[in-house]
Structure 1
Amino acid sequence: MLAVRSGRKMLVTTGAILAVGALVTGCSSDGGEGSAQPTNATVDGNAETGENVVIGFSGPAADHGWLGAINSAAISEGDAYDDVELRVAEGTNDANLQISQVEQFINDGVDAIVLLPTDGTALTSVATKAMEAGIPVVNVDREFSSPAAARTTILGDNYGMGQSAGQYICERLGDQPDAVVAEIAGIDSLPLTTDRSEGFADALETCGLDVDNRVAADFTVAGGEEAASQLLSAAPEIDAIWNHDDDQGHGVLAAIDSADRDEFFMVGGAGSANAMELIKSGESVLEATVLYPSTQAADGVRLARLIAQNKAMSDLVEVEVPKRIVLNAPVVTEENVDEYLPTAFSS
Structure 2
Amino acid sequence: MMGVGGEAAKQIEQLDEVLAWGPDAIVLWPLEGDQLRNAAQRVVDEKIPLVIYDRLIENFKGMAGEIMGDNEGIGNMMGEYLLKFFAEDLKAGKEITYLLFIGDSSTVSKQRTQGMTDVLAASEYKDQFKLLQDGFQTDWSNAKSKEFMENWLNTADPAVVSELDLIVTHDDEIIDGIMTVIRDDEALKDLRLLTSVGGRRETLATFDVVTKPELVTYFFSPSMIREAIRLGVAAAKGEQYAGQAIEGQLFLIPTIEIDKTTVEAYRTSQDYIDRYSIAN
Same fold (TM over 0.5): yes
The alignment partner of 1:287 has SS state of strand
Q: Which residue of 2 aligns with 1:155?
A: 68
Measure the CA separation in 2 of the matches of 1:190 and 1:203. Answer: 21
* Contact kept? 2:196, 2:217, Cα under 8 Å: yes
Q: What is the CA distance between 1:118 and its match in structure 2?
A: 1.9
Q: What is the CA distance between 1:210 and its match in structure 2?
A: 1.3
Q: What is the CA distance between 1:104 and its match in structure 2?
A: 2.0
Measure the CA separation in 2 of the matches of 1:254 and 1:282. Answer: 12
Q: 1:4-153, aligned counterparts within 5 Å?
A: 88-145=1-58, 147-153=60-66
| Structure having greater relative contact order (Cα 8 Å, sep ≥ 6) | 1
Letter in 2 for 1:324: L
Q: 1:261-300, aligned counterparts within 5 Å?
A: 261=188, 263=190, 264-279=192-207, 283=211, 285-291=213-219, 294-300=222-228
The alignment's TM-score, normalised by the length of structure 2, stands at 0.77
Letter in 1 for 2:241: M
Q: 1:145-294, aligned counterparts within 5 Å?
A: 145=58, 147-177=60-90, 178-187=94-103, 189-205=105-121, 206=123, 208=125, 209-214=128-133, 215-218=135-138, 219-232=140-153, 233=156, 234-257=160-183, 259-260=185-186, 261=188, 263=190, 264-279=192-207, 283=211, 285-291=213-219, 294=222
Q: What is the CA distance between 1:164 and its match in structure 2?
A: 1.6
Q: CA 1:227/1:275 → structure 2, altered by over 3 Å: closer, same or farther? A: same
Measure the CA separation in 1 of the matches of 2:25 and 2:235. Answer: 8
Letter in 2 for 1:180: I
* Contact kept? 1:127, 1:149, Cα under 8 Å: no
Identity, in percent, stands at 19
Q: Note the aligned Cα RMSD (angstroms).
A: 2.9
Measure the CA separation in 2 of the matches of 1:92 and 1:188. Answer: 16
Q: CA 1:144/1:191 → structure 2, altered by over 3 Å: closer, same or farther? A: closer
Deviations 1:35-65 (A, max 9, x none): xxxxxxxxxxxxxxxxxxxxxxxxxxxxxxx
* Contact kept? 1:160, 1:328, Cα under 8 Å: no
* Contact kept? 1:275, 1:289, Cα under 8 Å: no
Q: CA 1:189/1:332 → structure 2, altered by over 3 Å: closer, same or farther? A: same
The alignment's TM-score, normalised by the length of structure 1, stands at 0.64
Letter in 2 for 1:308: A
Measure the CA separation in 2 of the matches of 1:333 and 1:228. Answer: 23
Q: What is the CA distance between 1:120 and its match in structure 2?
A: 1.7
Deviations 1:81-122 (A, max 9, x none): xxxxxxx22323333332222222222121111111122222
Structure 2 residue 246 is the aligned partner of structure 1 residue 327? no
Letter in 2 for 1:298: R
The alignment partner of 2:47 has SS state of coil
Measure the CA separation in 2 of the matches of 1:187 and 1:247. Answer: 10
Measure the CA separation in 2 of the matches of 1:330 and 1:203. Answer: 18
Q: Which residue of 1 aligns with 2:266?
A: 337
